[in-house]
Amino acid sequence: MSNLEPEAHGKTLWHGRFEGGPAAELMAFTESLSFDRRLWPDDIAGSRAHVRGLAHAGLITDAERDAVLAALDQVAHEMQSGAFAFAESDEDIHTAVERRVTELAGPAGAKLHTGRSRNDQSATDVRLWAKRELVVVAERIVALQQVLLNRAIEAKGVYLPGYTHMQRAQPVLLAHHLLAHGWALTRDLQRIKGTLERVDVSPLGAGALAGSSLPIDPQYTATQLGFAAVFDNSLDAVGSRDHIAEVLFDLTLVAINLSRIGEEWVLWTSEEFGFAKLDDGYATGSSMLPQKKNPDIAELARGKAGRIIGDLTGFLATMKGLPLSYNRDYQEDKEPLFDAMDQVRLGLGAIAGMIATATFVPERMQAAADSETGSSTDLAEWLVVQGVPFREAHAIVGALVREALAGTASLRELVANHPRLGAEPAALVGPGVSVTRRTSPGGAGPVPVAVQLQHFTETLAAWQTWLGAHL
Ligand code: ARG
């Protein structure tokens, strides 16, 4: 009944066509087990669905299906406990699982790969994996947003300089600054949600590239696996990786957002700025300089973004010249994908912890924001309200700032004594006044920031609900 050669164990899956075995150099260079073994839960899920599909199509008996399912359970158990013994001939996770299933289930196991190729199998595994991991990344993003929101709420009226060109421009509430990063992360969530739609398509049933003569039903296995959709074109199903490029792009933008936060915190925690102090648990010391407390998380958020950009661009280069359909080059989708996912996930957790535990130094922030010239725009806008054209107002105030910087008198005195200004606008030059005058919608002062905090809270709650439905 069985055509299985007893010596098949230890041979490649394709050994029938070959007289000799694979060279050691070939195995060393082409194996993917060293990095794709983490796909085992997805490989087993895919095989469960596939073997059910085979029985559903009448290609194997229910008893054979059950024997394979039991063997898959056993493989899962061995993988989970670490007892799974990989063989030298296991080229990738797919061959390892199939080999072991065949050992355990005998002839029924040898039917597992009916109507299936590693091309649709590995594409299925990675899509299942990416679906799950993207939601975990989204969860971490939401957790970081929650930290930003909490810190924004407790920051109340604390303000700091807002910068353009890295020069002090206008004071902004600390809450406003923190939420600016929060909104950027919201767009990361939106991108991930959109990408998930395109990842959530089952390629299982495409076979090697062209489908099968056997009555397999891709929709059946897609439903078994919880995919929202099924492929329309078998060549496209095994021959496309734009969804992986998209995942990498989304992760790269998250990494870049973390990197930009990191850069700010490197500055904020420097002695020169002194805007924030890191908790001991989220800072490192120097092996030589006893006084040092270093912002390594912030720096590595910056540094690792470079490597993650490399994951994206490297994979785009891998894809660019590939004809349809599957090419072995596609095996190179996994390492950059895994690396970017792991690093972004770790980075989100580390940055969230760093910000949650840091101490802000409002005195330093506010002292930096209270330079007289920070209210220059308020003075010009005061003149505008008196009917002075803005360009003229800008010139009047600019001239006073030039005088003040030359040391003639303080800006406040110059304003108080200016024929077109006086005591009322001079009061705008006082500490803490300017930020209260950012009243326009979406602006940096207390009135619009209160509205923004409310909107951000609602937006975050909606994402939490979304997560609840996807986790
Ligand atoms: N490890 C391979 C990958 O990740 C599996 C597919 C191999 N297919 C083949 N025809 N050699 O892409």
Cβ neighbours for 350, distance < 8 A, ≥ 6 positions apart: 282, 297, 300, 301
Residue spans per domain, the chain: 31-111, 120-368, 371-430
pLDDT at 9 over 90: no
Question: Cα angle vertex 238, ends 338, 314, to 5°?
Answer: 40
* Catalytic residue numbers, as ranges: 165, 286
One-letter amino acid at 314 equals: G
Task: Check residue 408 and give its pLDDT.
Answer: 86
Question: Cα angle vertex 417, ends 413, 422, to 5°?
Answer: 95
CATH code, residues 31-111: 1.10.275.10
Cα 456 to Cα 183: distance, rounded to the nearest angstrom: 8
Quick one: pLDDT band at residue 430, thresholds 50, 70, 90?
confident
Task: Check residue 21 and give its pLDDT.
Answer: 86
Task: Check residue 252 and give its pLDDT.
Answer: 98
Q: What 8-state DSSP symbol labels residue 213?
A: S
Q: Which fold has domain 120-368?
A: Fumarase C; Chain A, domain 2 (1.20.200)
Cα 295 to Cα 182: distance, rounded to the nearest angstrom: 21
Cβ neighbours for 214, distance < 8 A, ≥ 6 positions apart: 57, 59, 114, 115
Cα 204 to Cα 190: distance, rounded to the nearest angstrom: 27
Lowest mean pLDDT among 235-239, 278-282, 310-314, 426-430: 426-430
Burial class (CB in 10 A: 0-12, 13-18, 19+), 409: middle
Helix (H) or strand (E) holding 163: strand 159-164
Quick one: pLDDT band at residue 2, thresholds 50, 70, 90?
very low
Pocket lining: 32 vs ligand 1, CB cutoff 6 Å: yes
Cα 423 to Cα 439: distance, rounded to the nearest angstrom: 22
pLDDT at 8 over 50: no
**Percent of the chain at pLDDT above 90?**
92
Cα 79 to ligand 1 centroid, rounded to whole Å = 21
Beta bridge partners of 172: 160
Pocket test for ligand 1, best of 32, 113, 238, 240 (most atoms within 8 A of CB): 32
Quick one: pLDDT band at residue 292, thresholds 50, 70, 90?
confident
Which of helix, strand or coil describes residue 2? coil
pLDDT at 206 over 50: yes
Q: Tell which residue, 295, 265, 269, has the closest CA to residue 282.
A: 295
**Percent of the chain at pLDDT above 70?**
98
Kindly report, residue by residue over 350-403, the tens digit of the pLDDT.
999 999 999 999 999 999 999 888 889 999 999 999 999 999 999 999 999 999
Quick one: pLDDT band at residue 10, thresholds 50, 70, 90?
low
Q: Which fold has domain 371-430?
A: Ribonucleotide Reductase Protein R1; domain 1 (1.10.40)
Dihedral sign from CA coordinates of 273, 277, 280, 282: negative
Cα 244 to ligand 1 centroid, rounded to whole Å = 16
pLDDT at 3 over 70: no
